[in-house]
Amino acid sequence: MIHEGGTSNSKPLSVWKEKDSIDRVEVEALVMILKTRGCSWSKRSGCTMCGYNNSVFPDVTSSDLIMQVDDALKSYDGEQYIKIFTSGSYFDPMEIPLETQRSIAMSVGSSAPSARLLVETRPEFINRQGLEQVGRYMDILEVAIGLETSSDNIRMENINKGFTWSDYIRGGRIVDDTGCLLKTYLLMKSPFMSEAASIGDCLNSIKDVHEEFPGSRISVNPMNIQSRTLVERLFRKGLYRPPWLWSLMEVLGTGTQLTKGETLIMSSPTAGGKKRGVHNCGECDPGILEAISSFSIDNDRKLLLHHYHHCMEDWKEHIALSVSDPLYSDMWMRSRS
Ligand code: SF4
Ligand SMILES: [Zn+2]
């Protein structure tokens, strides 16, 4: 973490540097989270796992947003990748006015003309004009959509995401057609879903996304427990356990086989190895997280092979129970730990 912005609206929420990959080669990325008015969907309804509405700044102005970006860019030191997150949607005009979307891109483009810029958005805010006016200042614009799952049923009922697979396809096509890159986020283990079912859902989703957008990038995001969410309430009552690292390895390894290595599949878990994030027993977590981080650069499956720890037997037991008794398997598993 380079810095946190404190209470000032003209400073970003946080800025840091991290490793990522471009064309399967490791690169450094500069990441900033901007303070914005927050996600429109979260104000109207909101997703069951999302605590981003805890970071809402209703008084932020357009000039604050530009100052936040300029402040974050002071830390720019030749990184090839710049990520701007907003705890919502970059292309939502209620969150970032259209003219400000363009001004921010202009600032980034003049500081880092050859960098790739990543922004996140819900698909309903994607249109050709918006992408072109931001993309014209960047070498490459990458647009991430939090699809979460290719199943409309799970996205609507378990996550309350409020958009459909066909909305995602429409947005993804525009991203493709305007020469931008598409990144798709998949959520691993939605609430009210067993461990085994979550593996199956992730693999189906990887296959579906790959069929529609071969060669795009997929990020598998295992659930992390965010505060003041429905998922946190289930977690506190012992009714929800975040997924196992063994499950994540299974999804990454098998997913890469399913897509024949054509679509890069990565994971950079929030709270990995902690009780509120994807975890195993604690002892074997650091080594597995390290392997997943290296695998995410170039999808070399060998990095995921030959990992074993005795907790793998508990995981197998949990998977078997979650097939036969999905409702109580998490509760039972948590009561033993
Ligand atoms: S997950 Fe995304 S769309 Fe859902 S409430 Fe959070 S920021 Fe909004
Ligand atoms: Zn272990």
Compute the distance from residue 310 Cα to the ligand 1 centre, in Å: 37
Atom from ligand 1 closest to the CA of residue 122: 3
Contacts of 107 (CB under 8 A, 6+ apart): 66, 69, 70, 73
Residue pLDDT, tens place only, 246-277: 999 999 999 999 999 899 999 999 999 999 99
Report CA-CA distances (Å) from 186 to 43, 106, 265, 310: 22, 30, 10, 28
Residue nearest to atom 1 of ligand 1 (CA): 50
Residue pLDDT, tens place only, 42-82: 999 999 999 988 889 999 999 999 999 999 999 999 999 99
Compute the distance from residue 95 Cα to the ligand 1 centre, in Å: 13
Q: What stretch of H or E contains 228? A: none
User: Is the pLDDT confidence value at 143 over 80?
Assistant: yes
Residue nearest to atom 6 of ligand 1 (CA): 50
Which ligand does the CA of 273 lie closest to?
2
- Over residues 233-249, mean pLDDT: 96
User: Is the pLDDT confidence value at 5 over 70?
Assistant: no
Supply the pLDDT for residue 186.
Answer: 98
Supply the pLDDT for residue 308.
Answer: 97
Q: Which two tokens stand for residue 285?
A: 């977590």
User: Is the pLDDT confidence value at 229 over 80?
Assistant: yes
CA distance linking residue 318 with residue 312, whole number of Å: 10
Residues lining ligand 1, CB < 6 A? 39, 41-42, 46-47, 50, 52, 87-88, 122, 146
Residue pLDDT, tens place only, 113-136: 999 999 999 999 999 999 999 999
Which ligand does the CA of 88 lie closest to?
1
Compute the distance from residue 38 Cα to the ligand 1 centre, in Å: 9
Which pTM value belongs to this model? 0.96
Domain positions in the chain: 3-336
Residue pLDDT, tens place only, 152-166: 999 999 999 999 999
The band of 337, judged by pLDDT with boundaries at 50, 70 and 90, is: low
Which ligand does the CA of 160 lie closest to?
1
Compute the distance from residue 42 Cα to the ligand 1 centre, in Å: 6
Supply the pLDDT for residue 57.
Answer: 95
3-state secondary structure of 299: coil
The 10 Å CB-count burial string (b at 16+, else e) for 60-91 is: beeebbbbbbebbbebbeebbbbbbbbbbbbb
Q: Which of 60-74, 138-152, 211-225, 322-336 has the lowest mean pLDDT?
A: 322-336
Supply the pLDDT for residue 291.
Answer: 98
DSSP string, 254-297: HHHHHTTT-SEEE---TTTTSTTSS-SSSSSHHHHHHHHHHHHH
Compute the distance from residue 40 Cα to the ligand 1 centre, in Å: 8
Counting ligand 1 atoms within 8 A of each CB, the residue from 85, 126, 161, 190 with the most, and so the one to mutate, is: 161
- Over residues 232-245, mean pLDDT: 96
- Over residues 320-325, mean pLDDT: 86
**Helix orientation angle between 128-135 and 165-177, rounded to the nearest 10 degrees:** 40
User: Is the pLDDT confidence value at 2 over 70?
Assistant: no
Supply the pLDDT for residue 336.
Answer: 66
- At the fourth CATH level, the homologous superfamily of domain 3-336 is Aldolase class I (3.20.20.70)
Report CA-CA distances (Å) from 118 to 20, 39, 168, 187, 218: 12, 18, 17, 19, 13
Mean of the per-residue pLDDT values of the chain: 95
Q: How many CA atoms lie within 13 A of 51 on its CB side?
A: 11
Compute the distance from residue 246 Cα to the ligand 2 centre, in Å: 9
Residue 245: closest CA among 300, 276, 288, 204 = 288
Q: Indicate the pairing of strand 25-33 with strand 14-22.
A: antiparallel
Greater model confidence, 311 or 326: 311
Q: What stretch of H or E contains 142? A: strand 140-148
Residue nearest to atom 4 of ligand 1 (CA): 47
Supply the pLDDT for residue 6.
Answer: 74
Q: Which two tokens stand for residue 334?
A: 């948590």
Supply the pLDDT for residue 282.
Answer: 97
Compute the distance from residue 294 Cα to the ligand 1 centre, in Å: 28
